[in-house]
Chain A
């Protein structure tokens, strides 16, 4: 029983880290790492809405974050807003909204810490299946739209000029990213999700020069950190998500040393 429980949590940690890592090269290259951070915070308002209305947390949050992600994409494209500013506004307003909503519910049964930091030990079998499907979908999305994502990340305007369907692919990208963030909240938490969207790619950038191998290295780094972090948390009795992020950071530092000299 304990064995089953452990394996399930370990698989949860690996799938969670890897699915985020698959997106991290694009998030980093497109310089939208703050978007990952913002969406994970925006999820907080979604969680609060579900909590107040007594609805299914993940479903409500997923719809809410996807809607906001698409709205951000829309708004900044249409009004040529500085994306970073739009996003920061959405981020803080969502947090404020979430806190207000939760405070309206007088009985305080809300476990804030578990949403901030997540807990892989809470991952159920059905969560694991969802994570697995998400991982496959993410991988399929990246492989199928590789050419489009590549040029979109290189230069959005020129890709659009040469008739890459940038708007369609960008919206799909935002929707997939939102899904990744929301589904990973349970395992990784609001704060650690954004770390896992940046660190694996930063490491991969130091080790690789081609985008496909960067994506592969990101995923491997994330899987290694997940296994290592899980083991560390088991033996040293540390919170798993935090251990994974710390390990990813250590791998990043090592990659800095291994980076080929320019």
Chain B
């Protein structure tokens, strides 16, 4: 549905996006993840035909964003970083205007607007002037605007920004419910958002893609294997010495040294070293209170990828 081949975009000397290539299947939800100034917005603007790329090609629904931009525009719904709202208009009039310029046929317009207001739960404010709405509601009107012509592809730039926790959950549910019928790309720098809503993630940093994979396999592959928290009662140095001696253990770090408990973090590349840890502690006659396996979070993957990139660059 979306095919991006070696797209770059320069702003003068600044390279905002460098040789980015990725592919999104029909019905997928893909998360675009990256720190500030990574190039997420720029990439999305290229896909929505707002910005031309300096080089490379991008296709949406089989149409080139440059050569067939009108065909692409008919098929996309776009929520920019700042929702594009005409502040002095009423919600309903605004959606009517958007439906018109998106090419919704006059007979379908009324129904399309009612449907989308229902989906985004803004039907109660349909006659309010947009500038009088709260930030969260403005954001919803922005989402409604992107959906009103029932586009094949949805491109959402930080859709949950400025919402309260309940609304965030609602919007995520909304996005998930749209998958299947729509192909969705959303950008965010909130990691849990990606693991919660997206099937696949593209991690971008300083204009380049540093990883792309399904959310599950990415967490398995990266961040240096597995991690365990061990709670015992013994001098830290002594425990560390013994645990580091286990062949599969890579690293042992202190988490907290109390006068009763010592908590350590043990890392191993690919082994579940819990039995060995338990045996070592028991053999040394130390008390064992707890061994816990810490799942690797996307957060770790992200930090790992984005900071190692930084290290390589400097």
A binds B: no
